[in-house]
Structure 1
Amino acid sequence: MSIVERLCSQRVARSKHVKALALAISLSVSFGAAASSESLQSYQPVTPTIDQARANILIARQLQFTHFRDLRVSDDLSGDIFDTYLKYLDGQKVYLTQDDLDGFVDIRDHLGSALRTGKLQPGFDIYNLVQKRIIERLHFALNLLDQGVGNLDFGGNDSILLDRSDSDWVANSVRLDELWTKRIKNAVLAQRLNGSDDDTLTDTLRQRYEAQLKRAYQARSEDAFQAYMNAFAGMWDPHTSYFSPRTSENFNINMSLSLEGIGAVLQGDNEYTKVVRLVPGGPAFQQGQLQPADRIVSVTQEGETPVNVIGWRLDEVVDLIRGPRDSVVTLEVIPSGAADETVTKAIAIKRDQVKLEEQSASKKVIELDRNGQSYKVGAITIPTFYADFQAMQAGDRNYKSTTRDVRRLLEELQAEGVEGLVIDLRNNGGGALHEANDLVGLFIDSGPTVQIRNANNDVQILNDEDPDVAFKGPMVVLVNRMSASASEIFAGAIQDYGRGLVVGSQTFGKGTVQAVRPLNHGQLKITQSKFYRVSGGSTQHKGVMPDIEIPSRIDNTLIGEDALDHALPWDQIDAVDHTQYFDFSNIIDELRLRHDKRFDASPEFSLLQQEIDFLKQQRQQNSVSLNMDERQQQHKQIERTRLTIANARRELIGETPFDSMEELDDWQDLQAADLKSNDEETDFVIREGGQIMADMLELDRRTAALPAMGSPLTSKAQTAQASTEL
């Protein structure tokens, strides 16, 4: 008897103990029971293949012997693998029950040894049971809709937990029926609050559940294998993952930048597809409304009806979003800062290729007057670390790259008489490592830029060998939570060398290097080394901490390396000798004081803080009411707050306030392209970077606190390490 069959038998036996309780629940339980019988007969369990078993053995060997983390494949990992696998399959704990989990006792502690030897059946048994339970639940939902949403009671004191990931599993199917009745009531309330009548919302929800049901019945062996291997590989770190042959194809397309789409990196997140990051210069980045951690509810092609994608496989969602250039796709998303899953937003994006020129560095000049003194500060925005490899390989001496473009912009800015420089790396997710190395080289005489340690503890040091310096003045580097990888290498090096101050918020903390290795079946992306700053501290996990902090709307608990399960820890190795050019210790307290005073008096910062507080309050809301009147009041309060903040920002720029949320939403749809973070007219953070630079120049004139470039304070690695330790 398989595990699935045994669990089903156990469930029948336990039903005798809950019969009395079942009679008190209403007719919905009988619908659930009928659905259970039908779905168990209809679902065809998936089974592992020989190729998958061979790939499993290869993956186990690669993880154990070539991954940066020294971790053995053994039964010591079994419990964590089991929990991670269930989190992937049923992260919100809405399909399985404690009764189901009790049936897994025999295999829970032995997954490690099974995976070491290619025995996949235990993982497939778990997957098949989850699929059966999904089918049961969806039939239950459809049956409840068939009874009529008008029969649901929205007048009591019921509420529903928004995030069940840390909750206990419900005891049995009867309790699960109660939970799903609440989930459906919540979905109905959401549609009513969005203006849908009962007939329309019933059709919408039925289409959603039927689409999910169809995909559950169409489960493939590869779906189970990929989920199981990713739960296994994820024990080593969150960036190590298995790509099925189909996913490998999509990965290779993305790496070649030949994909025509919206320019967003997506990943599965329970039933949803979640936005991980936006590609700088891509259509979604330029449109300006889609944000990291947004979850996609539906996808609409031009002239067609929306397709609900909740419960879809990631590759299917990617295929639906991908399309020909200049066509428009509309994504309905749950914004990352939404109070609950009932708040959605439609975002229309015109598909296009990500063009290299749209990722290029750009410049501005910020002119400031202080007590009769004028200051001219240059600002360079770098969306990504790019290089035109094809032109480089073809021998084109004028190929585009980050370093080449920034050198040219520096020459232009210095010709305009700038005294200081702001480098904006916010939302820069990294890119070509050699470009980060070369870019550091524009601001130092020569020396190391980053250390790379592999699993054998061998350390490679990348150096700037060119003594030429493109800019010798003081610098400010702007970062935020979405500044990652190569951005962190550059910001960390500038901080360690004392070439400038880092301003903004803690960076992402992505300090690892991955390689993609072929298997007999698919590919394995595996972490093989780790980045370290010249001061010895890793950029992994902690990222780069700013010298002067500016709060951000981004929730660090949702975005960032330290928000990921099994992330490699921060550590440090020996520092390497490097020069420290400027000593900011005499002026940093004064710089922070001036910055704080400006922000306390700044209406833009006041609005930013209001938004941050509002979003934080929304995220902290653990449950929502299922009472219609109470829910309407909450909905209206949220809309009033959004409208108040938007109108306050309108008044700052001399524009007429909006009369309603509908007017605000319409305006956002029309003006989305003007909402990019690098728009100087609406972005006060880059102006504040200029203000901090003006403070540095002013204090330098008064106290001569900053030595001239070429007069290093020290070349001892120990001193530099002490002054910049994270």
Structure 2
Amino acid sequence: MSLFATLSRSVALAVMLVITSPAALAQLEPTNEQRQASVEIADSLRYGHYADINFDDAWSQDAFQRYLDILDGQRAYLLRSDIEPYRHLESGMADAIFDGDLDELFALYNTFSERQRNRTEWSLAQLDEGLDFDFDNNERLEIDREDAQWATRQSELDELWRKRLKNDALTLALTDQDEEQIETNLRQRYEGQLTRIEQTEPEDVFGVLMAGVTGTIDPHTGYLSPRQSESFDIQMSLSLEGIGALLQSDGEYVKVSSLVPGGPAERAGVLEPADRIIAVGQEDGEMVNVIGMRLDNVVDLIRGPKGSVVRLDVVPAQAVDMTRSQVVEITRDTVNLEDQAAQSEVIEVERNGESHRLGVIEVPTFYVDFDAWQAGDDDYRSTTRDVAKEVERLKEEGVEGIVLDLRNNGGGALQEANSLIGLFIDRGPTVQVRDAQGRIQLYGDSEAGTLYDGPLGVLVNRLSASASEIFAGAIQDYGRGLVLGTQTFGKGTVQTLNELSHGQIKLTRAKFYRISGASTQNRGVEPDIAFPSLIDPERIGESSLDNALKWDTVQNVQYRRYGEPENVLDRLITQHDARAEDNPNFRYLERQSTLARQLREEHTSVSLNREQRQREMEAREAEQLSLENQRRRALGMEELDEWMDARTDPTAGVAEGIEDDDASQANEGDSEVDEALEVDRAYVLESAEILLDYAHLQETQRLAAKR
């Protein structure tokens, strides 16, 4: 029977399968250890969390709703009638958690699990019977159902699942797979999902439940099972052998949230934040579909011994159709301190026939070799020490200004952020930390003198977080230099890890505040001069996370200002805008950012008509390809035939960049890949231009003041 004939089978088959499915799943129940852990978690939230939480009916309603959202966020499995027996938990969730009375919450999970299995078995039954699909009609499938109402009739879900199955088949058909390949891939996907459902254990249910509970408080508070605690400890010691990417769940998909500086994924240049991973395979094994798979299981598939290769089927962040994926390979490795060390380069800027030298120091993370430091080693490694060496080298090179590149720097040791600020100021406060009782502790630089007092710039992006934001905010508050780039992540909270009788809890205990009194939480640091970005702040960043703590302020502290860069910002922005207008890379970034946002807003459903779907996909990619080729023509580069080729072209710059062997040559000006061709490189080059403008304006002001 043809896979692509007309759909004629009655939905009665689906109903029959739901009613007469084979042996019921084992009913999962909470263990005594989990009941006790629930009580301990509730007490930790009540007495230890930074926020003043009122565990009233409103909180119970939020927690119950979040639990449902985690279970069935797309409203695809449960009926309203499945939920009704548990509605009393909307006002009783707090009591249940505080008393360790988890039976009904587990029972709700069991209902969901049964519905999930029934739907998966229905999909497999359709494959057994032979799918009859017509891809010529004008049906569409809504792809985001987070705001949809719960279905009241089984027939509503039957229709939804008919369309979802049809979309799954069409998605594979559009990748030029034949009928046999489509059936094989779909069968593998559904059988894998069924196996995972049947392997669910009480600890899995407890983890989902606690994610619903803690997620109502803030996104960084969470329960870690004994297994997750072990993985967390391994990650903190940097001995985890994997790809060096932080992942998070995004509906049915696993999304890249950030890349570990110096890690294998960053070095390979084949992953970007917000990329979605849809399948994982070992070097010689079959690809395993991970759509709908639990996050920790996906991590287990990706993790492996050093030197081995993992293959990932990735849908790029900028793709608006899940058919546009590509398989990339990454060699697993450990992340060493050396890989995260600060490094510098000198950039030559031509002005009026004269060459000017600007220094750039890349700071991937705020690190310190704690073991060597505690052992009293006089030569221990740290961010501040390594940056100081690079500053001295750049001063010897006669640079006219220094840019600290903190892009993608997710933070690290707070003490290093404080001491690094001290290289550029002469004593003073650096950050305020407020605890749950309202007590404020002031941190600062106590050493006299500065290592560098010349023109300074700080380059940041949406992935600059925590300690990076403390540093950038202090430099901005002191008027010590310019902050360039995009709004930072906005993580201004402090977490501690506390032991439970069963597992651990990561608890938000304090908030960071700048010396000006403004929090870095949620809003991050706003740059003095903004650059366009391909990272969507609605998908990446603190403000994109549910229940993120709010921005607020405390009293400012006394500190001296070193300069007034705001007085010359208008002139600097005018000069920057003029260069950006003539810079193909900046024009591309601006237009691509606008287009990507527009496409995401428009892409709320997909056509199930093959020709229409193809036209829509081609139209979107034609716009993206047009922007890329406009940039290439302006730079004298060879144009691309396919938009996806930009992901693997070595001069694309967004994802690939210069290879490691070329990077050392690039510092000497010998790279075969012209740095001006790289999109990502445009940020660094323009930062050097702006800092040179700033240096000249400062010199003009000094000369005028002497007259």
> Which residue matches 1:657?
639
Higher mean alpha-carbon deviation, 53-62 vs 584-593, is at 584-593
Displacement of 1:662 in angstroms is 7.6
- Which residue does the alignment assign to 2:344? 363
Instruction: Tell whether 2:331 aligns with 1:383.
Output: no
CA change 1:252–1:411 in 2 (3 A) is: same
Shift, 1:362, TM fit: 1.2
Give me the whole-angstrom Cα distance separating, in 1, the residues matched to 2:380 and 2:13.
66
> Does residue 325 of the first structure (1) align with residue 306 of the second (2)?
yes
Map of 1:692 onto structure 2: 690
Letter in 1 for 2:246: V
Shift of residue 642, structure 1, vs aligned partner? 4.0
Give the superposition deviation at 1:568.
Answer: 0.8
Matched, 1:175 2:156: yes
1:664 is displaced (CA, Å) by 5.6
1:461 lines up with 2:442 in the alignment:
yes
Q: Which residue of structure 2 aligns with residue 109 of structure 1?
A: 91
Question: Is the Cα contact below 8 Å between 2:270 and 2:647 reproduced in 1?
Answer: no
The 8 Å contact of residues 49 and 507 in structure 2, kept in 1 or not, is answered as: yes
Q: Kindly state the Cα deviation for residue 649 of structure 1 after the two structures are TM-superposed.
A: 4.3
Q: What TM-score does the superposition give when structure 1 sets the normalisation length?
A: 0.90
- Off by >6 Å, runs of 4+ in structure 1: 668-672, 676-679, 705-708
Provide Cα deviations, 1:372-411, integer angstroms capped at 9, x if missing partner. Answer: 5543211111111111222223332222111011100000
Indicate whether 1:243 and 2:224 are aligned.
Answer: yes
Match of 2:211 in 1: 230
The answer as to 2:413 corresponding to 1:424 is no
**Equivalent position to 1:701, from 668, 684, 699:** 699
Task: From the superposition, tell whether residues 645 and 327 of structure 1 become closer, same or farther in structure 2 (CA, over 3 Å).
Answer: farther
Decide whether the 8 Å contact of 2:434 with 2:440 is kept in 1.
Answer: yes
Matched-pair contact (CA < 8 Å) for 1:582–1:707: no
Structure 1 distance, partners of 2:558, 2:377, is 36
337-346 or 212-221: which moved more? 337-346
Change (3 A) 1:337 1:39: farther
Q: How much does 1:429 deviate? A: 0.6
Given candidates 36, 46, 50, the residue that maps to 2:28 is 46
Q: Deviations over 1:602-621 (max 9, x none)?
A: 11111112321231122111
Q: Verify: 1:572 aligned to 2:553, yes or no.
A: yes
Contact 2:61 2:89 in 1 (8 A): no
Q: 1:89 touches 1:270 (CA, 8 Å); kept in 2?
A: no
Residue identity opposite 2:417 in structure 1: A
Q: Residue type matched to 1:257 in 2?
A: L
Separation of aligned partners in 1, 2:325 and 2:125: 25
Asked if residue 268 in structure 1 is aligned to residue 266 in structure 2, the reply is no
Counterparts of 2:134 and 2:595 in 1: how far apart (Å)?
30
Partners of 1:28 and 1:144 within 8 A in 2? no
* Conserved? CA contact 2:64–2:89, under 8 Å: no
Distance 1:293 1:498, change over 3 A: same
Structure 1 pair 661–237 and aligned structure 2 pair: CA distance change class (3 A): closer
Equivalent residue number for residue 83 of structure 1: 65
- How far apart are the structure 1 equivalents of 2:178 and 2:650? 26
Offset, 1:27? 3.4
Q: Partners of 1:461 and 1:311 in 2: how far apart? A: 45
Q: Equivalent residue for 1:392?
A: 373
Structure 2 residues not aligned, in runs of 5+: 1-6, 667-674
Question: Is 1:623 the counterpart of 2:605 in the alignment?
Answer: yes
**Equivalence for 2:133:** 152
Query: Is residue 71 from structure 1 mapped to residue 69 from structure 2 by the alignment?
Result: no
For residue 590 of structure 1, the aligned residue among 571, 579, 584 is 571
Hey, what does 2:3 align to over in structure 1?
none
Find 2:593's aligned residue among 588, 612, 615. Answer: 612
Equivalent runs, 1:193-204 vs 2, <5 Å: 193-204=174-185
TM-score (norm 2): 0.93
Identify if the C-alpha distance between structure 1 residues 707 and 523 changes in structure 2 by more than 3 Å, giving closer, same or farther.
farther
Q: SS of the counterpart of 2:122? A: helix
> CA separation of 1:668/1:228 partners in 2, compared to 1, >3 Å: closer, same or farther?
farther
The corresponding residue for 1:712 is: none
- Give per-residue Cα distances to partners, 1:643-694, cap 9 Å, x unaligned: 4344444445544333456866664699965368998552111111011111
Structure 1 residue 292 displacement after superposition: 1.9
The Cα offsets for residues 265-307 of structure 1, whole Å up to 9 and x where unpaired, read as 1223333222221110000111122122222211010111101
State the alpha-carbon separation in 2 of the partners of residues 404 and 550 from structure 1. Answer: 30
More deviation, 90-99/668-677: 668-677
CA distance in 2, matches of 1:334, 1:86: 27
Moved more, 71-80 or 580-589: 71-80
Percent identity over the alignment is 46
C-alpha spacing 1:167/1:706, structure 2 compared with 1 (3 Å): farther
Report the secondary structure of 1:613's partner residue.
helix
In 1, the alpha carbon distance for the partners of 2:141 and 2:76 equals: 12
Range 309-318 or range 178-187, more displaced? 309-318
Partner residue of 1:123?
A: 105
Structure 2 counterpart of 1:296, one-letter code:
I
- 1: CA distance, partners of 2:686 / 2:217: 41
Cα shift readout 1:560-589 (whole Å, capped 9, x = no counterpart): 111111111111111111110011233111
Q: Describe the SS at the equivalent of 1:348.
A: strand
Per the alignment, residue 669 of structure 2 pairs with none
Q: How far does residue 328 in structure 1 lie from its aligned partner after superposition?
A: 0.9
- The answer to whether the aligner puts 1:482 opposite 2:463 as a matched pair is yes
Alpha-carbon distance in structure 2 between the residues aligned to 1:489 and 1:590: 27
Q: Deviations over 1:441-468 (max 9, x none)?
A: 0000001100101111111111101112
1:674 to 657, 671, 676: 657
- Cα pair distance change 1:95/1:592, threshold 3 Å: same
| C-alpha distance in 2 between matches for 1:346 and 1:614 | 25
Note the C-alpha offset of 1:636: 2.3
The 10-residue stretch of structure 1 (645-654 or 420-429) with the greater mean CA deviation from structure 2: 645-654
Q: Secondary structure at the match of 1:247?
A: helix
- Matches of 1:130 and 1:232 in 2, distance apart? 18
| 1:556 is aligned to 2:537 | yes
**Matching residue within 14, 33, 42 for 1:32:** 14
Query: What does residue 333 of structure 2 align with?
Result: 352
- The answer on whether the counterparts of 1:481 and 1:505 sit within 8 Å (CA) in structure 2 is yes
Tell me how far 1:72 sits from its aligned partner: 3.0
* 1:95-118 Cα shifts (integer Å, max 9, x gaps): 112332334323332111111111
Instruction: Tell me what 2:235 maps to.
Output: 254
Single out whichever of 155-164 and 529-538 deviates more from structure 2.
155-164
The change in CA–CA distance for 1:40 and 1:519 in structure 2 (over 3 A counts) is: farther
Q: Whole-Å Cα distance in 2 between the matches of residues 706 and 206 of structure 1?
A: 76
Correspondences of 1:493-572 after superposition (within 5 Å): 493-572=474-553
What does the per-residue CA deviation read over 1:156-201, in whole Å, with 9 as the maximum and x for residues that have no partner? 1111112111222233221111111111111111111111011101
**Greater mean deviation of Cα atoms: 170-179 or 449-458:** 170-179
**Counterpart residue identity of residue 88, structure 2:** D
Matched, 1:637 2:619: yes
Contact 2:532 2:586 in 1 (8 A): no
**Which deviates more from structure 2 when the two are superposed, residues 579-588 or residues 91-100?**
91-100
Verify the 8 A CA contact 1:515 1:527 in the aligned structure 2.
yes
Counterpart of 1:108, as a letter, is E
Alpha-carbon distance in structure 2 between the residues aligned to 1:251 and 1:172: 43
Q: In the alignment, is the contact (CA less than 8 A) between 2:270 and 2:648 conserved in 1?
A: no
CA distance in 2, matches of 1:317, 1:637: 33
CA distance in 2 between counterparts of 1:542 and 1:665 reads 31
Root-mean-square deviation (CA, aligned residues, Å) is: 2.2
Matched, 1:163 2:144: yes
Q: How far has the Cα of 1:312 moved from its partner?
A: 2.1
